[in-house]
Amino acid sequence: MERFCEHYLKKLRIGSLTLDSNVLMAPLAGYTSYPFRVMCRKLGAGLCFTEMVSANGLKYHDKATAKLLYTDEAETPRAVQLLGCVPSAFEYSCKGAYTEAFDLVDINMGCPVPNIVRNGEGCALTGNLPLAAKIIEACKRSGKTVTVKCRPGLNRNKVTISEFARMCEDSGADMLTVHGRTRDMMYDGEPLYDLIAAAKRAVHIPVIANGGICSEADAVRMMENTGADGVMIARYGLENPLIFAELTGKRVPADKYALLLEQTEIAARCFDELAAMDYIKKLSSYFMKRIPGTKTYKQALYQCGNMQEIRAILGQIFRETENEA
C-alpha cells in the first residue's frame, strides 16, 4: 500500500494561511473543543475546527454558545465553524469580539440533521445558492479567511456540487470541503468519490475530501479517486487520533491512554470540573470503542463523581496497557 505521507502529504495554502499539513480534523459537536484540537495539532493535523457554533447565538450573546470558542496562544492557526442562514448574523459574528482570535471561519453548509435542514441551515443551503453566496460574502467582509463545508446535494437526484463549488469560489471562499455523501445518506455508505472529484474539477481553490476515512488505506483511496488537495478526518479521529500521526509520519507516543491522561490535565485547566468530566467521559468512550474488555472501565468512568476518580481509573488503564505491551 502507498504511504499517505510519502505520496500525498503536503503543506496547504488557504487564503493568507499556510498549514503544516493537508490532513485536517473536522468540526464535531460536543467533541472538538480546545483540548481535543490541541491534541490533534500535536499529532500532525494541519488545522482543527471548533464545534459547530450558531451565528445567531453569537449575535444575541448566548453564553453557552460563547463558551464553545475557548482558545489561547497555544492554538494556531485557529478555525471556527459557524452555522446559520442569516447573512447579517454571520457578518456580525465574524467581525465581533467572540471570533476576534480566530484566523479562519468555516461555514457549515453540510449538516444533514433534520431540524437544522428544516431551519434552512446546514445542507439546506446547497439548494439555495443565492442565499449561500450572500452568507459567504458577508463572512468575507470581516477580512478573515473563509471556507465552506458542504455535501454534494440533498439526494442523488438533486446533486448540485459543481455549480455550488463555482458559486463558493466566485463569492470569495478560500477552500471547499466536500463530505462525499448526499444529505439523505447521512453518515453511512461508501463516499461518492466522483462527486468530490467533480467539485475539484470545477474550481481553482483547494478542495478537501471528507467522509468514510477510517485508515491510511482509506485516505490514500480518497486521494487517488478524487484528486483532492487533502483529507478531513471526522468521527474516526475521536476513536483513534493517532491517525493524524500515521498520515503525516509524525513521531509521537504510541499509546492512546497517555494522550487521554494529557487531555484530562488540559480539560481541568480550561473547563470547570463538571464540563471537564463530561468531556473526558465522552472522549474515553470513543477511545475504548471496539477494544475488548473495556466495558468495566467505561462503567467505572461514568460513575466517577470528580476528576480525581477519573484520573485514577485512567491511570489504571494506562498501567495495564503498558504491561500488556
Predicted confidence (pLDDT) per residue in 64-96, tens digit: 888 899 999 889 999 999 999 999 999 999 999
Tell me whether residue 139 is one of the annotated catalytic residues.
no
Cell of 43: 499529532
Task: Give the largest CA-CA distance in the chain.
Answer: 59
DSSP state of 224: H
pLDDT of residue 255: 77
Of 221, 248, 275, which residue constitutes the final position of a domain? 248
Query: Position of cell 498520515?
Result: 247
Domain co-membership, 217 together with 283: no
Domain co-membership, 185 together with 316: no
Of 217, 248, 279, which residue constitutes the final position of a domain? 248
H or E segment to which residue 5 belongs: helix 4-7
> For residue 204, what are the domain limits?
4-248
Question: For residue 28, how far is the Cα from the chain centroid?
Answer: 5
Q: What is the CATH number of the domain that holds 150?
A: 3.20.20.70
pLDDT of residue 22: 98
Residuewise pLDDT in 10s, the chain (325 residues): 689 999 999 999 999 999 999 999 999 999 999 999 999 999 999 999 999 999 999 999 888 888 899 999 889 999 999 999 999 999 999 999 999 999 999 999 999 999 999 999 999 999 999 999 999 999 999 999 999 999 999 988 888 899 999 999 999 999 999 999 999 999 999 999 999 999 999 999 999 999 999 999 999 999 999 999 999 999 999 999 999 999 999 987 667 888 998 999 999 999 999 999 999 999 998 888 877 777 888 888 889 999 999 999 888 877 776 555 4
Residue 283 φ/ψ, nearest 5 degrees? -65, -40
How far apart are alpha carbons 217 and 4 in whole angstroms? 8
Cell of 188: 453511512
Query: Position of cell 480518497?
Result: 222
Helices (H) and strands (E) in the chain, counts: 16, 10
DSSP state of 252: -
Catalytic hit among 40, 48, 85, 111: 111
Domain co-membership, 118 together with 27: yes
Q: Could you report how far apart the first and last alpha carbons of the chain are, in Å?
A: 26
Q: How many domains, in total, are found in the chain?
A: 2
Give the Cβ contact number of residue 251 at 10 Å: 7
pLDDT of residue 1: 67
